[in-house]
Amino acid sequence: MDTQKQHTKSLIKNQLQEEYELAMDKIFKVKKWVMLLFIAFCSTGVYYQTSILSILRDDIKMQYEITDMQFSLIYTYSSIFQIVFTWITGLLNDYIGVEKLNIIYVFLTTLGLITFQIAQQYDSYIGTIIASVFIAISLETISVAQNTLTSYWFKRGSLSLSFSLIMFNLRVTEVISSNTVGPLYDVHDSLTLPLQVCIYVSLFSLFSTGVIYFIQKQRTAAQNKQIMILQEQEEYQNTKLSFQAFHYKKKIDIKQISSLPISFQLICAITCLGYSIFYPFTYQMESIFKQKFGVNKNNTGNLQSLMYTISMASPLLGILIDRVGKRLYLLAFGLFCGSLSFLILIILPSCEQSCLGPLYLPVILDGIYLCCLSSIVFSCLPLIVSKVQISTGYGVISSLKGIGMALFPLIISASYQKENGENLALIVLLIFSICNLFICVSLILYDRFKNNSILNEYQLKTKERYADQILELETKKNQKNPEYESLQSNGSTII
């Protein structure tokens, strides 16, 4: 009997939740897409500058007169701070409000770029490391904020599409950056002009955070109004459901992090390895391609541009996932493409002249890899983690990713400096890529047999998920079920 009562309580709560979600979707049907646009623009400034260190790697080493290992330490030092700050900011987002803190995160981008500009004018290696710390912290904290805000606005529908559109904007930014950073540098053979453009773009991102804060305030006001409307409706008046407690974020307990599901831990591992493999490879891409295939920095930039252009198909992938699901199978396919890409680069023979032709296939495979990885992993979290833990979950993922981003550039750089180093570095990347593929297969099996394939659903829609239960509840209500009426009269116990 107690189990049946608890089940009926849950059904009443789900019905109320459905009414609320439908009302909020109707009010913000158009505005939520405007919100998504500005959420995407938040990271435009910080992602535009990412190509500076990868495309202009040799030029920066020459300007500062540093070794390849010293250059890799720029990534390592900045990633160390990411490990701590992203986890902390994830908690702060759940406590204070992500729309407020996001303004500070984007401001760090502008501060870091200004510091970088001053440092390069004085050829200051230490100053560049300090600037990279600011930029790295802002990059990951902005990513956590973006993912959290997107989950809040789109959890009920178009979840994969919304994340894919954000990734699309990032890829467009990276394509533009990889095609413009080199020519901007060549104008004066200096970092001044590229960094100046980056600062202007980051100021636009800062403006976007103000728009986000304004729209979020409007949503909060509408939420409060809708709560009052629902509570005044005669249908729910006697239930005395604590709907306000349902809606507003509870203060998360740090101890709850240990209660996050195993599927979350596997997603953390896939994300950490996935990004730690890809981006350190792009950082070393110019050196590897120049050493093994005789490709100059401009051609390397064009290849990176092709890779990012292919990954811009992420919105199509998001639409596909929202319609048919199977996100984990598509993720496994993407990881397989990444492993195959490294295998092809290892097998390809070295050449002294510029050998661009054979490189197109592995670069295309890397583009597919990036498209699947970036479009899928972050959209999985809202499906398995409660709303009050979403930002903390993203913070944990970004923190672990920071560990990988701190270690992998050193591992790849150390491998590259050995004899036949370009092939050794690619072999290391291949080994870790295969390990990541096995982790993804483990997640598929776990999700299928333990989690009822929730990660392979086409999307999380409250209406469809609870349609049968709500119908059952309405039937009991219409029949004046004694148990239902008993719950109505004693509804104050329902949370």
What pLDDT is attached to residue 291? Answer: 79
DSSP letter for 458, please: S
Instruction: Name the burial class of residue 354, with classes exposed (0-12), middle (13-18) and buried (19+) by CB atoms within 10 angstroms of its CB.
Output: middle
Instruction: Name the burial class of residue 251, with classes exposed (0-12), middle (13-18) and buried (19+) by CB atoms within 10 angstroms of its CB.
Output: exposed
Which domain, by its residues, includes 101?
Answer: 24-230
Q: Say what the alpha-carbon torsion angle 444, 450, 452, 457 is, to the nearest 10 degrees.
A: -30
Specify if 270 maps to a domain.
Answer: yes
Of the candidates 89, 46, 86, 74, the one whose C-alpha atom is nearest the C-alpha of residue 402 is 86
Residue given tokens 């299928």 in the structure block: 448
- For 8-44, the DSSP string reads HHHHHHHHHHHHHHHHHHHHTTTHHHHHHHHHHHTTH
Q: Tell me, what CATH number does 223's domain have? A: 1.20.1250.20
What pLDDT is attached to residue 55? Answer: 75
Specify if 141 maps to a domain.
Answer: yes
Query: How far apart, in whole angstroms, are the C-alpha atoms of residue 90 and residue 82?
Result: 12
How confident is the prediction along the chain (495 residues), in pLDDT tens digits per residue?
A: 455 555 455 555 555 555 555 556 666 677 888 888 898 888 888 888 877 877 777 788 888 888 877 887 787 777 777 777 777 777 777 777 788 888 888 998 899 899 988 988 888 888 888 888 888 888 878 888 888 888 877 766 677 788 888 888 887 887 888 788 888 888 888 888 888 888 999 999 999 999 988 888 887 777 666 666 655 554 444 444 444 433 444 444 555 555 667 888 888 899 889 988 888 888 778 778 887 877 777 777 788 888 888 888 888 888 888 787 788 899 999 999 999 999 998 998 877 776 778 888 999 999 999 888 888 888 888 888 776 677 777 878 877 887 887 788 888 888 887 777 788 888 999 999 999 999 999 998 888 877 665 666 654 444 444 444 444 444 554 554 444 444 444 433 332
Query: How far apart, in whole angstroms, are the C-alpha atoms of residue 234 and residue 230?
Result: 9
What backbone phi and psi angles, to 5 degrees, belong to 457? -65, 160
Residue 379 identity (one-letter amino acid): S
Structure tokens given for 431: 């080994």
The separation between CA 110 and the C-alpha centre of its own chain, rounded to angstroms, equals: 21
Within this chain, do residues 87 and 206 fall inside the same structural domain, yes or no?
yes
What number of other Cβ atoms are within 10 A of residue 224's Cβ?
13
What number of other Cβ atoms are within 10 A of residue 351's Cβ?
12
Within this chain, do residues 162 and 224 fall inside the same structural domain, yes or no?
yes
Decide: 150 and 162 in contact? Cβ < 8 Å. Answer: yes
Structure tokens given for 31: 């505005």
Structure tokens given for 448: 């299928």
Task: Give the count of domains, the chain.
Answer: 2
Which of 208, 230, 252 is the last residue in one of the domains?
A: 230
What pLDDT is attached to residue 243? Answer: 42
Decide: 23 and 225 in contact? Cβ < 8 Å. Answer: no
Within this chain, do residues 226 and 277 fall inside the same structural domain, yes or no?
no
Within this chain, do residues 221 and 360 fall inside the same structural domain, yes or no?
no
Specify if 252 maps to a domain.
Answer: no
Within this chain, do residues 183 and 326 fall inside the same structural domain, yes or no?
no
Within this chain, do residues 170 and 99 fall inside the same structural domain, yes or no?
yes
Query: How far apart, in whole angstroms, are the C-alpha atoms of residue 319 and residue 314?
Result: 9
Within this chain, do residues 188 and 296 fall inside the same structural domain, yes or no?
no
Instruction: Name the burial class of residue 451, with classes exposed (0-12), middle (13-18) and buried (19+) by CB atoms within 10 angstroms of its CB.
Output: middle
Query: pLDDT tens, 281-310?
Result: 887 787 788 878 777 777 777 888 888 888
| Helix, strand and coil percent figures for the chain, each rounded to 5 | 85, 0, 15
Query: How far apart, in whole angstroms, are the C-alpha atoms of residue 338 and residue 366?
Result: 5
Within this chain, do residues 110 and 212 fall inside the same structural domain, yes or no?
yes
Decide: 386 and 325 in contact? Cβ < 8 Å. Answer: no
Within this chain, do residues 391 and 348 fall inside the same structural domain, yes or no?
yes
CA gyration radius, the chain: 25
Within this chain, do residues 94 and 171 fall inside the same structural domain, yes or no?
yes
Decide: 371 and 465 in contact? Cβ < 8 Å. Answer: no
Specify if 247 maps to a domain.
Answer: no
Specify if 302 maps to a domain.
Answer: yes
Query: How far apart, in whole angstroms, are the C-alpha atoms of residue 422 and residue 400?
Result: 27
Specify if 91 maps to a domain.
Answer: yes
What pLDDT is attached to residue 270? Answer: 92
Specify if 17 maps to a domain.
Answer: no
Within this chain, do residues 221 and 287 fall inside the same structural domain, yes or no?
no
Which of 424, 440, 457 is the last residue in one of the domains?
A: 457
What number of other Cβ atoms are within 10 A of residue 306's Cβ?
18
Within this chain, do residues 163 and 269 fall inside the same structural domain, yes or no?
no
Residue 483 identity (one-letter amino acid): E
Residue 194 identity (one-letter amino acid): P
Specify if 18 maps to a domain.
Answer: no
Which of 207, 230, 253 is the last residue in one of the domains?
A: 230
